[in-house]
Structure formats: C-alpha cells, structure tokens
C-alpha cells in the first residue's frame, strides 16, 4: 500500500525554487518540467530562460538519480503517483496542486530561508498582529550571533543604515567597479534558447523582453563563484550606494544573488556567512556588511513569512488608496520608446534588457510612478512577478502591495513610498539629461514625478490624513497655491 512506504523508497519531487542541493537528501528525484511554469502568463524571456536552465542543469547534476519529465501541466506529472515526497514548495498554487493531485505525496517542511515556518508562526502567535521587519531581524541576529558582541550588536545598533544611503559619487557615470562575475553559457543554455524560440514560434508561449546573454547563476557551483566575487569585489560599496542610481551602471554594487537564492541553488545561510567572513578576515566595512545581512536574513525572510501569514486575500481586498488603473500597454511590453522621462525610460530599458533592476529603481522609479498614477496593486504585483527574473509568488506581494504601493493600509510600511523628482535628482544622475526639471511642478518642463507627487497626495488625502507620518507632506500640499492647476495638468497629461 502507498501509505506505509517509508521515506527511503520515495522519490523527491523537485519543483520551481528547489533546484539546488539544499532540497536534496540523496535519494532518487523527479524533476518536473511543466510548460505551464513558463507560459501561464507572458513572462520575461530572460526569466523563462533562467528558470528552465536551472531546472535542466539540476537534471544533469543529479545524473542517474533524476527522472526528468516534460509535460504541459504539473497535474500530468502527479496524478496516479504514490511514490513521491516533496519539500513544501514556495508558492500557494504549487502547494495546493501538490496536495490536490499528488494525494500520496509526503510533504516535508519548507527550506531555503533563515527561519522556518513553524518558528515564525510560534513567534507570530505571541505577538500583537503586526510584525516589524526590525524585530524579526534582531531575533535572527541574536539567535545566530551574527555581528554580535557580548553587550549587543557590533557597531552599537542593529541597523547601521544611517551610514549607508549615500547619493552617487559626484560627477561619476559609474561606480567604477570591475564587471560582476558572469556565467559562461553552455549546451544547456543553447538548448533552452532553442526550445523557447520554438514555443514562441508555435504560439504556445508569449514572452517579453530580451534574452541575449545569461547573466545570473543557475547552479550551486555558479552561485558560489558569484557570491565569492561579490563579497571580495563589490560588498564594500554595497552599503553606501545601495539607494543610488546611475544611468550607465545597471548593476551598481548589488550582488545579483536574489536569482540563485530564489531558484533554491544558493542557501541564504551561506550568503550571510560569506559576508561575515569578509568583514572578520578581510576588512569589509561594517555598515555595508550589516546592510547586506539585513537584506538577506531580515527583509528576504520577512517577506517570505508575510506571504504565508497574510494569506490569499492580501491586497485583493484592501486596496487602501483606491488604485484601480490598468497597467498601460507600454509597461506590459516593456517599451520605453515613447517615454521622455530619463529616470523612467532608463528603468524600463534596463528591465527590457536584463529582466532585473536594483531595488531602488524598482521602488523609487517604477513603484513610485505606479503609486502616483494609481495602478491596480494586485495586477502590478503579478506584473513584477512576471517580468523580473527573481520574481516569485512569495516575494512580490509584501514588496509591491505593502512596501511599494501601501495598498495594505500600513501592514508592511508606515507610509507610502512616494517621492518627487528632487529626491530622484539627489539619488541619481538622471535629471541632468532630462527634458523635465525636477524642481518644477507646473508648465512644459514640469517633472512628472514632482507634479505627480502632489497630484497623488491630493487624490489620497482622505485615506492618508490620519497617518502621523503623512502630516507634514499633506500640510505642505495644502499650502500650495497652484495645487488645482497641478492636478488639472496631471489629469490632462495622463499616462502615456
């Protein structure tokens, strides 16, 4: 009978996000390549490439231990099998499918994060319902002894962010760092590209964006090389410039490791340990190391837990700022050709070319634009999931609905991430070459972010007036004598 099979007879089901040794306990495996993983919605072609390449590289690594099935749907691979076990997958859809179609499948606790789900649930049950990232992060730091000394955090505080967040170096067009580690493509990438071409030709898949060169690690071995290179060459500049943007430097000092981590080929523990070693043995600056550890062990873990904690309805019901605009076609096509705002066209071009932008372009440019113009937050979350190479079901909701769009009314962030052109001007080199003027809110050369900021506040005032952090911006808005004109202008300009 299927029920008394011991786990040693079972075959480990390998699903998206589980493509590394972290998800392997040494037995036989079933790697499911369901075309629906890549074609259910139009995804970025570079994303489809990376995820399929990771899958097929995993099949090769597992060798004789792997059964590789190519099917249209996961259902086809699961129905009728009673010999599987699976590490609980990182998506609500996949979890439901595994439980529904794979009735005899044994489900093991999830992996791949710094804290596990049971531990988080226990902690959350003791709390008041609101879990701040900072609290989660401090617990992890204490538990692991990361950057701690006997009387508390090294550096005196858990967050050293006040030493980070610098504008880009004055006059610089790039940070001047050597190129990041890049992977070398192999026959698997050729085959993947060939198959994706065929799917597009046959009309079974539609992709957006460019897929010219693979730029992200898709195996554990590649990820280790990328990690080593990052901590040796780039980590020191990560902290100070993590919020800065330069038109001609698309990676800045970022790690590019979210892709291998979300593919499941790179263990976040290993990432944190490497950063700590760089600090201890190689003088990597403390504020940079702390900022990076916070991204991986704090924020990344936190949004994972919020995904499960908030549940299915998160975002669908709240829409706290009444944002109902459809995402325009040029966003869906990643087409910047009609856009003359340099910050925005730079971001959209980068996204088209790489399927990736660093977090401040996501937040300060794309997210800010969408927030100001009231794009539907659930639709926007899907879009971010599909067109970013590191996009997953779990990672985008708290980031987009919560952090970026404030559509949850403040469950994740205390105020909306809205800013005008002056802030973009401070943190980037975009405005000098732009036909708009970041200081102007009215007229031909009024910056759409500056004017859009005031129009946004005017529209959302009723929803935001009780938020203490919005008092000052709303007061400033009420003092503007030309507010009605600005609002009329922005309504007239609309979205391209």
- Residues at the interface with ligand SF4 (CB under 6 A): 341-343, 421, 424-425, 430-431, 434, 436, 438, 447-449
Give the nearest distance from C-beta 149 to ligand SF4 in angstroms.
42
Question: Closest CB to ligand SF4 among 391 and 420?
Answer: 420
Give the nearest distance from C-beta 358 to ligand SF4 in angstroms.
16
Question: Closest CB to ligand SF4 among 298 and 452?
Answer: 452
CA-based torsion, 479, 484, 489, 490: positive or negative? positive
Question: Closest CB to ligand SF4 among 334 and 365?
Answer: 365
Give the nearest distance from C-beta 430 to ligand SF4 in angstroms.
4
Question: Closest CB to ligand SF4 among 322 and 432?
Answer: 432
Determine how many CB atoms are found less than 10 A away from the CB of residue 402: 25
Give the nearest distance from C-beta 461 to ligand SF4 in angstroms.
23
Give the nearest distance from C-beta 368 to ligand SF4 in angstroms.
10
Q: List the structure tokens of 10.
A: 């079972």
Question: Closest CB to ligand SF4 among 259 and 341?
Answer: 341
Instruction: Kindly compute the dihedral angle of the four CA atoms of residues 353, 355, 361, 362, in this order, to the nearest 10 degrees.
Output: 150
Give the nearest distance from C-beta 431 to ligand SF4 in angstroms.
3
Determine how many CB atoms are found less than 10 A away from the CB of residue 144: 17
Give the nearest distance from C-beta 428 to ligand SF4 in angstroms.
7
Q: Which residue is nearest to ligand SF4 (CB)?
A: 434
Give the nearest distance from C-beta 384 to ligand SF4 in angstroms.
20
Contact (CB, 8 A) for 35 and 205: yes
Question: Closest CB to ligand SF4 among 267 and 425?
Answer: 425
Rounded Cα–Cα distance for residues 450 and 360 (Å): 17
Question: Closest CB to ligand SF4 among 257 and 431?
Answer: 431
Give the nearest distance from C-beta 274 to ligand SF4 in angstroms.
36
Question: Closest CB to ligand SF4 among 128 and 337?
Answer: 337
Question: Closest CB to ligand SF4 among 271 and 364?
Answer: 364
């Amino acid at each position: 009978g299927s029920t008394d099979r011991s786990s040693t007879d079972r075959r480990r089901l390998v699903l998206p996000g589980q493509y590394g040794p972290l998800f392997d306990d040494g037995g036989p495996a079933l790697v499911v390549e369901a075309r629906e993983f890549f074609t259910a919605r139009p995804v970025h072609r570079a994303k489809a490439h990376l995820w399929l390449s990771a899958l097929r590289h995993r099949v090769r690594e597992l060798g004789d231990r792997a059964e590789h099935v190519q099917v249209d749907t996961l259902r086809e691979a699961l129905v009728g099998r009673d010999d599987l076990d699976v590490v609980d997958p990182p998506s609500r859809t996949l979890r439901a499918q595994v439980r529904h179609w794979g009735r005899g499948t044994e489900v093991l606790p999830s992996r791949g994060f710094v804290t596990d789900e049971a531990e988080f649930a226990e902690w959350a049950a003791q709390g008041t319902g609101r879990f701040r990232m900072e609290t989660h992060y401090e617990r992890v730091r204490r538990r692991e002894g990361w950057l701690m000394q006997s009387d508390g955090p090294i550096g005196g505080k858990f967050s050293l962010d006040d030493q980070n967040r610098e504008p880009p170096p004055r006059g610089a067009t790039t940070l001047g760092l050597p190129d990041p580690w890049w992977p070398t493509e192999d026959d698997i990438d050729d085959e993947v590209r060939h198959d994706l071409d065929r799917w597009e030709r046959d009309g079974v898949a539609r992709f957006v964006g460019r897929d010219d060169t693979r730029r992200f690690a898709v195996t554990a071995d590649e990820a280790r090389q990328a990690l080593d290179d990052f901590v040796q060459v780039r980590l020191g500049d990560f902290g100070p410039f993590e919020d800065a943007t330069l038109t001609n430097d698309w990676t800045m000092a970022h790690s590019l490791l979210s892709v291998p981590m979300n593919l499941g080929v790179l263990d976040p523990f290993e990432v944190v340990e490497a950063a700590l070693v760089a600090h201890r043995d190689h003088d990597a600056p403390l504020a940079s190391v702390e900022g990076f550890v916070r991204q991986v062990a704090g924020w990344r873990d936190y949004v994972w837990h919020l995904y499960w904690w908030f549940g299915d309805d998160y975002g669908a019901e709240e829409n706290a700022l009444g944002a109902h605009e459809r995402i325009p076609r040029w966003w869906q096509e990643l087409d910047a050709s009609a856009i003359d705002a340099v910050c925005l066209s730079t971001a959209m071009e980068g996204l088209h070319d790489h399927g990736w932008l660093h977090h401040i372009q996501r937040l300060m440019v794309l997210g800010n634009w969408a927030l100001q113009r009231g794009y539907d937050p659930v639709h926007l979350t899907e879009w971010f999931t599909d067109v970013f190479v590191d996009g997953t079901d779990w990672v985008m909701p708290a980031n987009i609905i919560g952090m970026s769009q404030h559509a949850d009314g403040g469950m994740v962030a205390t105020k909306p991430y809205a800013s005008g052109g002056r802030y973009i001007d401070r943190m980037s080199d975009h405005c000098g070459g732009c036909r708009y003027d970041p200081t102007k809110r009215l007229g031909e050369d009024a910056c759409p972010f500056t004017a859009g900021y005031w129009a946004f506040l005017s529209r959302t005032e009723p929803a935001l007036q009780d938020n203490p952090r919005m008092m000052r911006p709303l007061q400033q808005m009420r003092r503007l004598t030309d507010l009605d004109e600005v609002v009329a202008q922005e309504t007239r300009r609309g979205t391209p």
